[in-house]
């Protein structure tokens, strides 16, 4: 028989089964379980997807309040269309769906609710408070084209709510505390990102959000950061060694002894040799560059802007690092910086600047956090397109 399409299915059922396709190209698996010589009929069905349509899976790791949601909004915008919670579902769902992407929050795999964690004396960052077996099974199923009933962790009540249906999207983003913690889940990722926010900056952002917007006291914010720190250091932070791209956010070096945390030094650390991903570079690939773009073409007020680029090693991996210290006065002038960056994977000249202007009101739009999140968004779109193209090519070869 000539092969016309390659399907990917995962089957885990008892013996005595036979397979058949229905008209929607779904593979139906019929099984018979045998009990004490008497056979009881049982029917299982598996939806299989053609290999070219398999979901691409992206992992985004960071501590709470470190800009994951903002990054997700920038990423989904690159693919077009707005991301919204599942229609008609739980109003406290953490999931966001757009035409191309589904973003699920890994908090939904907490195995202990708020009371359970309190009783056991564990934080949500502790692996014992999370169900990695289920996380692995469900991410794998989605990647293989199978819809799942994913639990919901309700941040309003602190309880585990009834599950919601997640259908396989073109791109699945798993964001949260532990996307790279469990090796089985890690191996399912086509690309991974870690947002590495230094303690000083994390503190400044937490104060800004939790004090101004949520009415928490300074003491309670400090106490919450301190309480999480041991588990953060043990279980969250080490994941960055596995990331394909890390966005590191540090206090500026342009203002001596700055403790305001408003001006940021941001580093985009990009692993070399990752399939379908080629790092962005400034001026000349592989060279070590230091660049102060302020002057005739870029307006800079104190303390100015400084870029740096060059090769480095990160946890033993060869990487390229692009760095920006300082902030833009006028976002439209970013086009000048963009014109000196290469390998951006943009579809047209000025796309980075256009995206940044479009979301000028998002946090970090005037500094390296917004710039590098936008660039990583474009790289993910490119990675997705390359994966789809290479699968289509493989299918063509299989057909021939």
Ligand X SMILES: Nc1ncnc2c1ncn2[C@@H]1O[C@H](COP(=O)(O)OP(=O)(O)OP(=O)(O)O)[C@@H](O)[C@H]1O
| Interaction site with ligand 5RP (CB under 6 A) | 64, 107, 114, 124, 155, 158, 177
Number of Cβ within a 10 Å radius of residue 35:
7
- Write down the H helix ranges in 90-234: 114-120, 132-143, 183-186, 199-206, 212, 218-231
What is the rounded distance in angstroms from the CA atom of residue 357 to the CA atom of residue 70?
Answer: 15
User: Which residue in this structure is represented by tokens 């249906």?
Assistant: 165
Token output for 151: 């639990």
The minimum distance between CB 251 and ligand X, in angstroms, equals 13
The minimum distance between CB 47 and ligand X, in angstroms, equals 31
311 binds, among ligand X, ligand 5RP, none (CB under 5 to 8 A by kind): none
What is the rounded distance in angstroms from the CA atom of residue 266 to the CA atom of residue 250?
Answer: 6
The minimum distance between CB 173 and ligand X, in angstroms, equals 12
Q: Per-residue x/- mask for ligand X, residues 255 to 294, rule CB under 6 A?
A: ----------------------------------------
In 3D space, the residue among 171, 173, 144 whose CA is nearest the CA of residue 51 turns out to be 144
Binding residue for ligand X, selected from 8, 31, 47, 69, defined by CB under 6 A: 69
User: Which residue in this structure is represented by tokens 């210290």?
Assistant: 325
198 binds, among ligand X, ligand 5RP, none (CB under 5 to 8 A by kind): none
What is the number of the residue whose Cβ is closest to ligand 5RP?
Answer: 124
What is the rounded distance in angstroms from the CA atom of residue 28 to the CA atom of residue 372?
Answer: 45
* Nearer CB in complex with ligand X: 266/387: 266
The minimum distance between CB 228 and ligand X, in angstroms, equals 12
169 binds, among ligand 5RP, ligand X, none (CB under 5 to 8 A by kind): none
Q: Does 114 bind ligand X (CB under 6 A)?
A: no
Q: Does 363 bind ligand X (CB under 6 A)?
A: yes
* Nearer CB in complex with ligand 5RP: 232/309: 232
DSSP 220-249: HHHHHHHHHHHHIIIIIGGGGGG-SEEEEE
Q: Does 170 bind ligand X (CB under 6 A)?
A: no
62 binds, among ligand X, ligand 5RP, none (CB under 5 to 8 A by kind): ligand X
201 binds, among ligand 5RP, ligand X, none (CB under 5 to 8 A by kind): none
The minimum distance between CB 367 and ligand X, in angstroms, equals 7
For residue 363, with 0-12 CB atoms within 10 Å meaning exposed, 13-18 middle and 19 or more buried, which class applies?
middle
In 3D space, the residue among 191, 169, 186, 185 whose CA is nearest the CA of residue 53 turns out to be 169
* Nearer CB in complex with ligand X: 141/378: 378
| CB-based contacts of 382, cutoff 8 Å, min separation 6 | 276, 277, 345
Q: Are 179 and 62 in contact (CB under 8 A)?
A: no
What is the rounded distance in angstroms from the CA atom of residue 332 to the CA atom of residue 334?
Answer: 5
The minimum distance between CB 397 and ligand X, in angstroms, equals 41
Q: Per-residue x/- mask for ligand X, residues 294 to 323, rule CB under 6 A?
A: ------------------------------
Cα–Cα separations (whole angstroms), residue 121 to 112, 160, 260: 11, 18, 34
Token output for 386: 């390359």
Q: Does 64 bind ligand X (CB under 6 A)?
A: yes
Q: Which helix (H) or strand (E) holds 342?
A: strand 341-342
Q: Does 67 bind ligand X (CB under 6 A)?
A: yes
Q: Are strands 281-282 and 96-97 parallel, antiparallel or unpaired?
A: unpaired
The minimum distance between CB 201 and ligand X, in angstroms, equals 8
Which parts of this chain interact with ligand X (CB under 6 A)?
Answer: 62, 64-70, 205, 208-209, 363-364, 369
């Amino acid at each position: 028989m000539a092969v016309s399409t390659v399907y990917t299915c995962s089957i885990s059922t008892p013996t005595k089964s036979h397979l058949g396709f229905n008209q929607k190209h779904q593979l139906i698996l019929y099984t018979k379980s045998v009990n004490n010589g008497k056979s009881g009929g049982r029917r299982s069905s598996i939806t299989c997807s053609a290999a070219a349509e398999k979901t691409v899976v992206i992992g985004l790791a960071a501590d709470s309040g470190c800009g994951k949601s903002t990054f997700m909004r920038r990423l989904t915008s690159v693919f077009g269309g707005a991301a919204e919670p599942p229609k008609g579902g739980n109003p406290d769902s953490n999931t966001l769906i757009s035409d191309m992407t589904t973003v699920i929050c890994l908090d939904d795999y907490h195995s202990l609710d708020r009371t359970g964690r309190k009783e056991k004396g564990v934080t949500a960052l502790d692996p014992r408070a999370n169900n990695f077996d289920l996380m692995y099974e469900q991410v794998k199923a989605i990647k293989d084209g199978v819809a799942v009933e994913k639990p919901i962790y309700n941040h309003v009540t602190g309880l585990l709510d009834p599950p919601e249906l997640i259908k396989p999207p073109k791109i699945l983003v798993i964001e949260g505390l532990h996307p790279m913690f469990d090796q089985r889940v890690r191996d399912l990722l086509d690309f991974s990102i870690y947002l590495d926010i230094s303690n000083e900056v994390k503190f400044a952002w937490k104060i800004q959000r939790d004090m101004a917007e949520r009415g928490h006291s300074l003491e309670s914010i400090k106490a919450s950061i301190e309480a999480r720190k041991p588990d953060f250091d043990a279980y969250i932070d080490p994941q960055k060694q596995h990331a394909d791209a890390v966005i590191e956010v540090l206090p500026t070096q342009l203002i001596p002894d700055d403790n305001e945390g408003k001006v940021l030094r941001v580093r985009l650390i990009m692993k070399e040799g990752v399939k379908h991903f080629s790092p962005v570079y400034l001026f000349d690939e592989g060279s070590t560059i230091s660049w102060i773009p302020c002057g005739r073409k870029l307006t800079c007020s104190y303390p100015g802007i400084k870029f740096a680029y060059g090769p480095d090693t990160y946890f033993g991996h060869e990487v390229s690092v692009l760095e920006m210290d300082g902030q833009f006065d006028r976002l439209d002038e970013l086009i000048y910086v963009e014109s000196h960056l290469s390998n951006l994977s943009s579809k047209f000249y000025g796309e980075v600047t256009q995206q940044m202007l479009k979301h000028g009101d998002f946090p970090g739009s005037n500094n390296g956090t917004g710039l590098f999140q936008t660039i990583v968004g474009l790289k993910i779109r490119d990675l997705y397109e390359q994966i789809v193209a290479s699968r289509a090519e493989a299918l063509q070869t299989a057909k021939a």
